[in-house]
Amino acid sequence: MSAYYVMGLDIGSATAKAVLLDESGYSLAFAVRPTRGRLVQSAEEVKQEILAHTGVSEEAVKAIITTGYGRDIVQNKTKSLTEITCHARGAYATMPNIRFVIDIGGQDSKAILLEPDGQVGRFEMNDKCAAGTGRFLEVMARTLGIHLDEMGDMAIHSEKYSKISSTCTVFAESEVISLLAQGEEIPAVVSGLCRAIAERVYGLASRVGITPPIMMTGGVAKNKGVVNWLSRILNQEMIIPPEPQIIGALGAGIMGLEMIKKSNEKMNIITQNT
């Protein structure tokens, strides 16, 4: 059999992620693109981007495994898998001693307990409310008139934090406007918002059973303020992979590779017995 490749696609509400693996499991390249509400188009664009970058033909990709919010809308996919399974597999592949994954994406947040062999033990997921997700931060950044990427540095350099009591995004937005009207400084408000997300996620993680070492994945893992508050509230170090957004796509690709190898092994057994 000639050389082949497997692609993992994680199509989230905010970003589309792709990872390309060769048959040995080596990660050749990854790509991340904003969806801007165009999930089908973004999935195709991120796929073509990674193929163009590596020079790999579409015909050489033996399997495309999808996960994430838009996993079922991807055209020409081989199989779709749940986000929980793919994030667990990707985290374990990145660091085999990881026992707990906190993933905060654009639309949901997840807490996953891993067994020592990397299998999913228990998990909890918040996909019903924007509080505790990247969407919450996007709304608040717009309300504050600052860029989303500024929030992490603002939070960790602020000596104070504002108390944000509302867990609902709509009410929290009104609360932020009220705090600013009372003279609260923007960095303190930002720190308070990061703390509010951390507290929300702590509640989610507590129901699963927090077990270190803990890896944090998803786009919000790039926000230093949220990471810092989570570390303080959990009293644990948050291990952040070099590219926290692609862990789900990586897990999807690895599982696709395992599927192909199992299929090849079955074919070899059948051939030998005929």
The predicted-structure confidence for 190-249, as pLDDT tens digits, reads as follows 999 999 999 999 999 999 999 999 999 999 999 999 999 999 999 999 999 999 999 999
Q: What is the mean pLDDT of the chain?
A: 91
Q: What is the pLDDT of residue 170?
A: 81
Is 107 in the same domain as 63? Answer: no
Mean pLDDT of 95-121: 94
Is 234 in the same domain as 101? Answer: yes
Whether residue 92 is contained in a domain is answered as: no
Is 134 in the same domain as 250? Answer: no
Is 231 in the same domain as 257? Answer: no
**Chain segment 144-184, per-residue pLDDT in tens:** 999 999 999 999 999 999 999 877 778 888 999 999 999 99
pTM value surpassing 0.85: yes
Is 25 in the same domain as 51? Answer: yes
Is 228 in the same domain as 101? Answer: yes
Confidence check: pLDDT of 263 > 80: no
**Chain segment 78-97, per-residue pLDDT in tens:** 999 999 999 999 999 999 99
Q: Are 35 and 11 in contact (CB under 8 A)?
A: yes
For the chain, the residue count is 274
Please state the three-class secondary structure of 58-120 as a single string. Answer: HHHEEEEEEECCCHHHCCCCCEECCHHHHHHHHHHHHCCCCCEEEEECCCCEEEEEECCCCCE
Cα distances (Å, whole numbers) of residue 21 to 2, 179, 214, 247, 261: 15, 49, 25, 13, 13
Q: 261-266: long-range contacts at Cβ-Cβ below 8 A with a sequence spacing of 24 or more?
A: 264/1
